[in-house]
Chains A and B, each alone.
Chain A
Amino acid sequence: MFDKILFISSALATIVGAVLTISVKNIMHAAVFLLLSLLGVAGLYLTLGADFVAVIQLVVYVGGVVVLMVFAVMLTAGSSGQKANRFGLVKIPTMGNFRTYTIGIVFAALVLMTIIKLYTNVFAMSRLAQIPAYSPTVSKIGISLVGTHVLAFEISSVLLLGALVGAAIVSRPRRENR
């Protein structure tokens, strides 16, 4: 019963947050609704018994990525000078127009049909296993990360270092006398 309530509330938060993220006019509000959606996904992880992934989702996404997005929105909000360029494009756009939403919905319908076709084949093949009782996953994930998946673990550390240095170099202030 409690599991069901948690699932329904998390799924509602996820989907409502996603819908508002792609449809609200203010980008800052879109970032906040993305926060709601990510919290819902963390709740879904909890109902799936994935405690470590849920906590990492909260720490990395809610504490890191969304804050980064909010910073980017604030740093790009105030454009000096005119609002549109010489082609008549608004410099800080908020939403797409009717045409882009139509194209998006048509393409999403195509993707949805492909996914449903894929799922019918997958459901015919996959056998559902017995759902195990809840057990903590942290120690198993830790052993797996330094055992079977140690190469991917090390490569991801190199990726994070590269992203750190790359982001710092790309976004450094411009020097005029060069």
Chain B
Amino acid sequence: MNEYTPILALLALGFGFGLFSVIISGFTGPKRYNRARLDAYECGIEPTPQPVGGGRFPVKYFITAMLFIVFDIEIIFLYPYAVAFDSLGLFGLVEMVLFISTVFIAYIYVWRRGGLEWD
């Protein structure tokens, strides 16, 4: 029983948090509705209606968001590297250069293919 007490606890906590957030926001949140507020995504992107007669679906926002994640992860790796810089020595340098260049290649791709242009 012992070893899976934490897991049960985690499960309970997960459910509890979900329930708690929904209920408490229902009680405490301000109830001023407007159009943007009712959209599925509160991000300024209109999911519907789609462009008449098909056409392209604007994904500019999502591309930018995904780029953010890529660079975010890069930064996350840079922090611990900075902390252990001395003890890792040349090995660390080589590995980090490899890592950064990998991310950089992705960056070049996005940049050259117009992923950074908003319009």
Real complex partners, A and B?
A: no
| Residues of B in contact with A (beta carbons under 8 Å apart) | none
| Residues of A in contact with B (beta carbons under 8 Å apart) | none
